[in-house]
Structure 1
Amino acid sequence: MANEENDCWSRVKGRLRSTVGEDVFSSWFARMDLESISDDAAHMSVPTRFLKSWIQAHYADRVLSCWQAERPTLQRIDLTVRTPMRPAAAVNKDAKTADDLRSDRNVGKAINGLRINGTATPAADSSDALGSSPLDPRLTFDTFVVGRSNTLAHAAAKQVAEGRRGEPVMFNPLYVHAGVGLGKTHLLQAVTFAGNAGGQRKVLYLTAEKFMYGFVQALKNQTALAFKETLRGIDVLVIDDLQFLQGKSTQAEFCHTLNALIDSGRQVVIAADRPPSDLESLDDRVRSRLAGGLVVEMGSLGEELRLEILKSRVATVRTHHAGFDVPLPVLEYLARSITHNGRDLEGAINRLLAHNTLSGHAVTLEMAEREVRDLIRPQEPKRVKIEDIQRVVARQYNVSRSDLLSSRRTANVVRPRQVAMYLSKTLTLRSLPEIGRRFGGRDHTTVLHAVRKIEALVNKDTTLAEEVELLKRLLQD
């Protein structure tokens, strides 16, 4: 493949990563390769049929729009399944690829240590469930640093973790939302560790992706009943990254499971990157049930909390590397300069540790400035979401968000809707068809008309131009 095509593919992946976010990109696109580019199509491949069908069903427009930003002449994407390097054993005409089989095994492990293969398997005990869950042993309550932005979330999670079987459940579901790297997963895994440590309750931690894999596999193997019974026998169900839950049948099953657990007094703990009202992909019934529990936001990390996190991380590292020392002025510089999220803070300490141990040089302020300069992103623009645009526009024009998505054609709704579509096109990388779907399933030509209409009016109407600029500032601050 030509270097030019490789460079173009790298830029497309960069656009895609910034569009869908690092977690979604890693889940669905990390193993997608470029095969070739023809006059009107980009030919790509993935290792499994499941990945191919999922990307085609949920992300085809986004992938195409990222390609078209680099090569406007492209009209379509062609996605195929790569041939395995070594042939899979053909047990029957429906034999799976090696990647499919590995995926199935991972799903079996995720659902409380079950192997759902055709007959129901009794649920594993809590220690088995813990052993087969995707848990990081460092993410406990002891290592969680509490500050002003996460005090309530921490207290609620701690109370859930300390609950006993048969006791009344106070917060159900407990719903925690925050941006990337602010501690959601740490809290959820801490709840899982603490809950399983007591030995009285079965606590299961699943990402939304693993829940989907498990449900799809259960349907495929005709063991959906065993899948449901297993989940509904859990004392505490912990679901991470709920924003990735897709598919009507999967959402319906999640809703039934949620209702069954809550109605029977079992605990549900959920984390997502936004509040329930902004999870547009979820069914209204699910959003309503989630909003009926305790919804807690974990805010951004203040400088004081960032400094405490850095101190905690250094103390942890010193248990294995006793000679590792980071002077307080260096920690204060990192806390002041690295503002994005907690993962960047940990990455900074890891870099200092690597430099210290590999070179033998002491950690200094000058060395820290050099090693972490790419983690300092004070001017990084905020990534605007269509949900944010709809919410801000609705508030500014005194209409409801549901009005913007409705079919109402009154003047007090049409103009805000057009402004919101215009901002969605100018402030995000979403394609016209994608924007149309997010505005009540409208056709892309409707979005195009709205964009052109507002563009023309902004050039003539000073008042509207000022309103649009104000909205942009509100969204980007």
Structure 2
Amino acid sequence: MTTAQIDTTLEDQCESVKSRLRHEFGENVYSSWFASIDCESRQGAVVSLSVPTAFIRQWVKNHYGDRILELWQREAKDVQRIEFVVRGAVRTPVQARPAQAEKPAPAPKAAAPASSSAPSLTTPTPVSAAGEAQDALDGSPLDPRFTLDSFEEGASNMLALAASKRVAIAASGEAVAFNPLFVYGAVGFGKTHLLQSTAAEARRRTPRRVLYLTAEHFRYRFVAALKNQTALAFKELLRDIDLLLIDDLQFLHGSKVQEEFGHALNALVDGARQVVIAADRPASELDGLEPRVRSRIGAGLSVEIGAPDLDLRRKILTRRLAAQKTAFPELDFPHEVLDFVARSVTTNGRDLDGAVNRLVARNQLTGAAITLDMAESALKDLLRAREGRRPKIEDIQRVVAQHFNVSKADLVSARRTRAVVRPRQVAMWMAKTLTPRSLPEIGRRFGGRDHTTVLHAVRKIDSLLANDETLAQDIETLKRLLDA
């Protein structure tokens, strides 16, 4: 019999067994436990079946393993054992285990190689019976790009980063300093990056049991455990974790789920196990959360991640461009365009990523040079979203002229006396800071000046603001006049 015929027979036998399971246990049980089973291989008297998670593997093996073996023996009488393995994120050929005198058997599928010697949180490899409980609760996927080194530090996130680093580098058995650590901030401010990089760094440094879960993943696991009457085992597994990280707590719905999370949180904190939680707003504003959970979170360290300031946005863009230039070595991304993006896209880091991707894609796909005009065109939807809340250049020119006792005509004229130059520079700085208009357009609105003149004015005012308190007060007054 050829290899192809053997494979076909194995697949047919697998489909026949699954069909019998569907008929015997019904559609609901079949969909929950058997539909995801794949037939991987057969070596001698051993059939290897794969499932997507360690939790499903343990449940199917413990509750249906004998019945599945009986059904296989109806298809092939010489089958003596069924082996269940967990599929990795990257499917690889099954490797044979070293031969054993008693009963040779094929090895499970190997998971994708990890970046360190620590076992993967997201693709646990098959283990012995003694280790099955440890792997039964696998974590949410970790993005390998998220590291503490790649997390850009700024005034808005330095405290959150410092606390997370302390958690990540803590030695096994070391006293817990901040527990629970609660990090909150709006979408795109870096919470997920911080939690995932903390989990990855902790796994790399120490032998602690580290588990990263989204709130939705936690909820799914708990509901499945309740349905399958394994809630007690789920609780024991969860409370044996040394470092638990829960992301997007605002999505933790359901009173029963929240109650169990509260019990687990109390058990871990009382047992000196570290817990790190992230949400999009302060715990006091998570109205759907159980009061006892909010209270326990409030007893720890709560740290806000704020909106990235101009300096941090520049750092983020510089790092993103460095990554792009690795892929496109000839990429020319002028500094004035980077400055325009940093000043114009003020919402969050994800929008900054999107802005860089758009400009690089347009450059690489069309050959168009990355210029200020191209940036303004490519990012017009990001800029338009902010335009309605911002003053017009005419309004800025009006209030600046009134405040500094010059005429609007002076601001757009060619006059270069100090009494006119400084108000003009302030007006240009405000136009660049408070409107989404590009440097060339601002230059045109100030008497047809070149964009480099506008850029010089912006940088001049930036440098003066650091030490000139009178100028800073003048600009704050002008902003209030515009808002009036």
Per the normalisation by structure 1, the TM-score is: 0.57
Distance of aligned partners of 1:322 and 1:176 in 2 relative to their CA distance in 1, 3 Å threshold: same
Amino acid in the other structure paired with 1:92 = F
Asked if the contact 1:109–1:133 (Cα under 8 Å) also holds between the matched residues in 2, the reply is: no
Alignment of 1:78-93 (within 5 A): 89-93=22-26
- Tell me, yes or no, if structure 1 residue 140 matches structure 2 residue 147: yes
Asked if the contact 1:133–1:206 (Cα under 8 Å) also holds between the matched residues in 2, the reply is: yes
Asked if the contact 1:339–1:378 (Cα under 8 Å) also holds between the matched residues in 2, the reply is: no
Distance of aligned partners of 1:90 and 1:338 in 2 relative to their CA distance in 1, 3 Å threshold: farther
| Counterpart for residue 323 of structure 1 | 330
Q: Distance in 2 between matches of 1:217 and 1:126?
A: 28
Distance of aligned partners of 1:199 and 1:141 in 2 relative to their CA distance in 1, 3 Å threshold: same
Asked if the contact 1:243–1:272 (Cα under 8 Å) also holds between the matched residues in 2, the reply is: yes
Q: Greater shift after overlay, 181-190 or 348-357? A: 348-357
| Cα displacement string for residues 123-173 of structure 1 (whole angstroms, at most 9, x for unaligned residues) | 999523244631111111111110000010000001100011100000000
Q: Pick the aligned partner of 1:337 from 344, 353, 368.
A: 344
Computing the radius of gyration from Cα coordinates, the structure with the larger value is 2
Q: CA RMSD in A?
A: 3.4
Q: Pick the aligned partner of 1:181 from 181, 184, 188.
A: 188
Q: Distance in 2 between matches of 1:118 and 1:258?
A: 30
| Counterpart for residue 106 of structure 2 | none
Deviation of 1:101 after TM superposition, in Å, equals 7.2
Helix, strand or coil: the match of 1:222? coil
Amino acid in the other structure paired with 1:128 = S
Q: Distance in 2 between matches of 1:102 and 1:156?
A: 44
Amino acid in the other structure paired with 2:26 = K
Relative CO higher for 1 or 2, CA cutoff 8 Å, sep ≥ 6? Answer: 1
Asked if the contact 2:140–2:214 (Cα under 8 Å) also holds between the matched residues in 1, the reply is: no
| Counterpart for residue 293 of structure 2 | 286
Deviation of 1:199 after TM superposition, in Å, equals 4.2
- Tell me, yes or no, if structure 1 residue 270 matches structure 2 residue 277: yes
Q: Distance in 1 between matches of 2:296 and 2:121?
A: 27
| Counterpart for residue 355 of structure 2 | 348
Amino acid in the other structure paired with 1:146 = E
Helix, strand or coil: the match of 1:166? coil
Deviation of 1:100 after TM superposition, in Å, equals 8.9
Structure 1 unmatched runs, 5+: 1-87, 382-475
Structure 2 unmatched runs, 5+: 1-20, 39-50, 64-83, 87-110, 112-116, 124-138, 390-482
Helix, strand or coil: the match of 2:193? helix
Deviation of 1:363 after TM superposition, in Å, equals 1.5
Distance of aligned partners of 1:126 and 1:248 in 2 relative to their CA distance in 1, 3 Å threshold: farther
| Counterpart for residue 378 of structure 1 | 386
Runs of 4+ aligned residues of structure 1 deviating over 6 Å after TM superposition are 99-105
Alignment of 1:7-46 (within 5 A): none
Alignment of 1:7-406 (within 5 A): 89-95=22-28, 109=53, 115-117=58-60, 119=62, 127-131=119-123, 133-376=140-383, 377-379=385-387
Deviation of 1:320 after TM superposition, in Å, equals 2.2
Q: Distance in 2 between matches of 1:338 and 1:156?
A: 28
Deviation of 1:102 after TM superposition, in Å, equals 7.8
Helix, strand or coil: the match of 2:327? coil
Q: Greater shift after overlay, 242-251 or 198-207? A: 198-207
Distance of aligned partners of 1:199 and 1:314 in 2 relative to their CA distance in 1, 3 Å threshold: same
Per the normalisation by structure 2, the TM-score is: 0.56
Helix, strand or coil: the match of 1:254? helix
Question: How many residues get paired?
Answer: 295
Helix, strand or coil: the match of 1:149? coil
Helix, strand or coil: the match of 2:281? coil
